[in-house]
Amino acid sequence: MNQSLIIEKKSPVNLDDTVQKITENALALGWTVPGIKEIDKMIFRNGGPLVLPVRLVELCHPQHAGEMLKSDKTKFSAVMMPCTIAVYEKKDGKTYVGYMNIRKTGDMFEGTIKEVMGEKVAVDQDKILNFLQ
């Protein structure tokens, strides 16, 4: 099991196809996709440097999110929502995916957050990203 807090894997397909595959896999499991942000374009548009393409795919599972946000004791977990997956190109011309090791993140907590993130969300994350190398 990977113990890194952030995992990076190479995608077997290009950036647009990677974003599409993640989106399709998530929707098939009952997740929503609140947004796909073109971070590279936002950076350049606001005076930053030109960078290779970077997309942030935002994913949310209403039942899982609701379970974590319904209690005042766990409402702080909103800072980790929505689950975000980064899809980007590197100078080698290949597409990569960076994401939080949600299983490890969940294990840093107890109770509801550990149960939801460390178990339910982690299982879905594995399925959503199962096409990566």
What are the chain's domains?
6-128 (3.30.310.70)
pLDDT band with cut points at 50, 70 and 90 for residue 3: confident
- Examine the pLDDT at 105 and tell me if it is beyond 90: yes
d(CA 38, CA 26): 19
pLDDT at position 45, please? 97
- Examine the pLDDT at 71 and tell me if it is beyond 70: yes
pLDDT at position 1, please? 60
63, two tokens: 């039942």
Please report the beta strands in 11-123, taking only residues with DSSP state E, as ranges in sequence order. Answer: 32-38, 54-60, 83-89, 95-100
pLDDT at position 2, please? 74
Find out whether 87 and 15 touch, Cβ atoms under 8 Å.
yes
Instruction: State the chain's mean pLDDT as an integer.
Output: 96
**What number is the average pLDDT over the span 75-83?**
95
